[in-house]
Amino acid sequence: MEVIDISLELSNETPTYRGRKEKKPSITVVRTLEEGANEMRLNLETHTGTHVDAPLHMLHNATSIDQIPLTHFMGFAYLAEIRNVPVITEKELLPFEPFLSRETFLLIKTDNSFQDLNRDDFVYLDRSAAQFLSERNPKGVGIDALGIERNQPDHATHQTLLSRGILIFEGLYLKEVNPGWYYFMAFPLKVKAGDGAPARAVLMRI
């Protein structure tokens, strides 16, 4: 069985949403072998690197990451490649409609995979794309950007998806992965009352 790691590496150089320095992980050595054992301290936000957004991220009194059953973070996924567009709309998603169901995930590989993840003008899903997905109700949607939307003051993409219980996976490393069907797993850290959490995301070839 081939397991493909699609997680970003966590380090002091990990890219962040729009390159914001305050969101950088901080990894420091707190103990060495000479002191008994190697130990490090990791300080990071819940939405840094490869991570999962829970409904609580954008909705009042919503489900937190620790309340979501583990089965919601695993299942068959179709990896769609959508290139050469600055924003993904309903039009770009229409060809993938046959692959969408409550039991499957849609993962989207875009030009983000080949560009600097710190940049402002990353490819994202707009309101129409989110509405299209909410009506087909997949288990979750993932993208190769550190945010699934930008320049939407009302956070329409997040609001639309999370209100339907559609999980959002951001920061997926898809550059070297071909389109097609896979088995997907991305288990987040069990953060009590968390609005999201970092995750180790993998694909397995079917």
- Asked if the structure places residue 30 within a domain, the reply is no
For the cut 90, the answer to whether the pLDDT of residue 161 exceeds it is: yes
For the cut 90, the answer to whether the pLDDT of residue 192 exceeds it is: yes
- Asked if the structure places residue 14 within a domain, the reply is no
- Asked if the structure places residue 56 within a domain, the reply is yes
> Which two tokens mark 48?
């840094």
Number of domains in the chain: 1
What's the confidence (pLDDT) of residue 206?
78
C-alpha distance across the termini of the chain, in Å: 9
Domain that holds residue 200: 3-7+45-205
The model's pTM:
0.96
For the cut 90, the answer to whether the pLDDT of residue 149 exceeds it is: yes
What's the confidence (pLDDT) of residue 39?
98
- Asked if the structure places residue 75 within a domain, the reply is yes
Question: For the domain that residue 159 is a member of, what is the CATH number?
Answer: 3.50.30.50
Q: What are phi and psi of 78, to 5 degrees?
A: -105, 125
Q: Which helix (H) or strand (E) holds 188?
A: strand 180-188
- Asked if the structure places residue 13 within a domain, the reply is no
| Residues 14-44 pLDDT 10s | 999 999 999 999 999 999 999 999 999 999 9
The CA distance from 61 to 183, in Å, is: 31
